[in-house]
Structure 1
Amino acid sequence: MMAIGHATVDFYQGAVPTLVPFLVAERHYGYVAASGIVLAATLLSSIVQPLFGALTDRWTMPWLIPASSLGAGLGIALSGPGDSYLLTWLAVALSGIGVAAYHPESARLARTASRGSHVAMGWYSLGGNIGFALAPVAVAPVLSTGGLGASPWLVAPAVAGVVLTASVIRSLARRAAAEQAAARGAGRDDWPVFLRLSAIIVCRSIVFVGLSAFIALYAQERVPGGSATGSAALFTLFAGGAVGTVLGGPLAARWGRVRTLRIAYGAAVPAVAGLVFVPGPALYAFAALTAAALYVPFSLHVTLGQDYLPNRIGTASGVTLGLAVSVGGVASPGIGALADAAGLRTALAPLIALCALAWLVAGTLTEPETEREPGPAPGTRAGAGTPGTR
C-alpha cells in the first residue's frame, strides 16, 4: 500500500514534463519559459525536501503524507486554467513542494513496514518509478482531449492515493513513533560516509536525468525510423529501470548493499559507453543495461542513508530521495547547451565519467554497523532482518 501511495505522488513528477508541450502549443511558451516551469518543480522540490526531513526527525508527522499528496495533485490540477505564467509557475511549484514533503515521512513509514527487508524497500521504490512512467500515458490523453482546461481532472490520482492508504498510514504511524523513540541516540551518525553516498547519488541523478531528457532525440539520430525510435528508446530506458529496481533488493540480500552498489556502478560505465558510441539498434540493449545498472542501487541508497544517519532518518530520506536525486534536472540545461554547441554524442559522453566517479566513490563506502534483534519481527520470514540491518 505504501508503494501504491508512492506511485500516486511520483505520478506528478512525471506529469510536469508531459505538461510542457501543451503549454508550448497553447500558450506559445519559448524554451526558456518552458524550462522555467520544469525548474519550478525540480529545483524547489530538491531544496525543501531535506527541510521536511529535518522536521520529521523532530516530530512524527503522518498527516503530512495525505496533505502533501493532495498538494502535489492540486498544483498540477491548477496549472492549466488561466493564462498567467506566474500563476502557472506557482501551481507547478506547489506540486513540487507537495512531492518534496511526501517523501521523508513516507520513506520512514515504508522502512517500518518493510521491517528491514531490502526487497520490500525495492517494491516501495518501484511504486514511485511506475507512477512516474505512467504519467505521460495518463496525462497526454486528458490534455489532448480537453486542452489545458482539463487539468483539474488530474487531481484524481492524489485523491485515490489518500483514500487507499489512509488506514495503513495510521497503523504504521504508531509503530514508527515507537521505533523512533526507542532508537533515539541508539547509534552514531556517520556524516562523512553519508556525504560520500550523496555524491554518488548526485552522479547517478545527472546521468539518468540527462539520458531520459535526450535519449529520444539521440535515438532518432542514430537509428532509422523517425520519432518511433525515440519513443522506443525512452520506453526501454524506463522499463530497464523498473527491472533494476526489483533486482536491487535480492542482490543486496545476497551480496550486501555496498558490494551491490560497486558492481552496479561498475557495470554502468561500459553500458553508458555502449549507448553513446555503439551505432545502430544495439542502442536499445545498452539503454536497458544502463537503466538496470543505475536503478539496482536506487532503494539501497535510501536504506544505506538511513543507516548512516540512524538519528536523522527523515533527513537521510529527504536527501537520498530528494536533493541528491532531483539535482539531475538542474544539470540538464548544461547538457543541452553542450549539445547545441557540439552535438548530442559529445554532450552525453561526460556521463560515462560520472558513472566511473560514482564507482570510485562507492569503493570508499562501508556497510553500516548495526545491531540485529534476537529474532525476526512478527509477520516476517526468518532472516529478513530488522530495521537497519543488512
Structure 2
Amino acid sequence: MNNIYVSTIIDSYNYGTVLQAVATRDVLSEYGKPYFIDYCRPDWTSIGLRQIYLRDKHHNPAINLLRYCVAFPNLRKNKYIFRSFVERQLDLVDSTPYLEGGPFDANAIYCVGSDQTWNEELNKGIDPVYTLMHVPQYMKKFSFSASFGRPSIPDREATMMKPLLEQFTAISVRESSSVKILNDMGIKTGVALKDPVLLCRPQLWHELSENVAEMSQSYVLIYMLNENPRMVEYARLLASSERITVRIIRFNRTKPVPSGCEPIYQPSPEQWVACFRDAKYIVTDSFHGTCFSILFQKPMIVFNPPRYSIRLSDVLKDFGLTERRVADDESISKISIASDPIDWNHVNNAMSVFQTQARNFLKSVINIEP
C-alpha cells in the first residue's frame, strides 16, 4: 500500500471543509495510507484572524478592537471545535516541505483536493501547498475533485496555474465548469468527479454521528451561510403548515436568533451531521448542506448564495434536482418545492455512477507511472 500525502483545506471553521477531508480519507484508504498535510493558511492562524478584524477599513481602530474582543470567544470556540475534529479523524504530517521544499518520499503519491484548493480569491493567491509546487515533477501527483470555485478565472491566474498543473499525472475536478477552465488553459485531460462526501461509503456518515442522540421532535432545519431573511420566512411558513418546529444552526452566539427558530449553537461536526440525519426538511444556501440533504434523502429547498453558486447549480443538475432551487424573485408564499416528490431511485442510481467513475479514476492513477 502506497503512502498518499493529501493537500486539502482543513484549517477553516467550516463543516463542509472538514467533512470533505474525512470523506477523502475514507475514499483514498482503499488505495493506500492517507496522510494529511497539516497546513494553516496565514489568514486562518490566530494572528491572521485577529488582523482581519483590526485592519478592517470600514471602521476606526477603536471599533475594530472592540469587534475583535467581542468575537474572540467565538473564534476560540470554533477553533477548538474544528481543530479537535481534524486531529481526531486525520493522520497529520508537517507542512514545511510543501512550503519550502523537500525532502519527499519518491515512492509515495501526492494528492490535492478536494474543496476550493484552486480558488485564488479565497486563498489570496496561488498557494504552494495546494498546488504541490515544491513536490518534484518526476513524482506522482494528482488532484481529487479539486475546485476553482468559480465558473472562470482571469488569464493572469491561468498563466500561472498552467505550468504547475501540467506536472500532474492526472487531474480530476469537482465541477464540469472547472473542466472548461482546464481546457481553456490547454489542459485537455481533466475529468469531473463529485465532491468526496458523495463518493465515500454512505455508512461513514452514520458511523460519524452514531453517538449523537436522535432528535425526537420533527423539524425544519435551516443551514444558512449567508444571512437571508427570505430563507427564515420560508422555513417558518413551512414549519407552520407541517405543525413542526424550526431549528437553525448558528455559528455565533452574539448574533440574534430569528424569531420562531430554535438555535443549535456551534455543533461539533458529528452533531452537525446528525442535524441533517434527523431533519424532516432542509432549507439551505450551502453546497455541502445540499450534499448532506441528498445523502440522508431529505427534501431540500435551496436558496442561491450571493457568490460561488456554480457548484450548487452543478450538484443539483447532476442529481436531476434543479427544481429544488428557489428563484431569486420568487414570492415566498408561492414556493411549493417542499411538497414536490423526489425520485430517490434516480438519485441513488446517479450516486452509484459517480462512485464508479471515482473508483476507476483512482485505480488508473495508482497504476500510472509518474
Structure 2 length as normaliser, TM-score?
A: 0.24
Structure (1 or 2) with the greater strand fraction: 2
Q: Identify the structure with bigger relative contact order (alpha carbons < 8 Å, sequence gap 6+).
A: 1
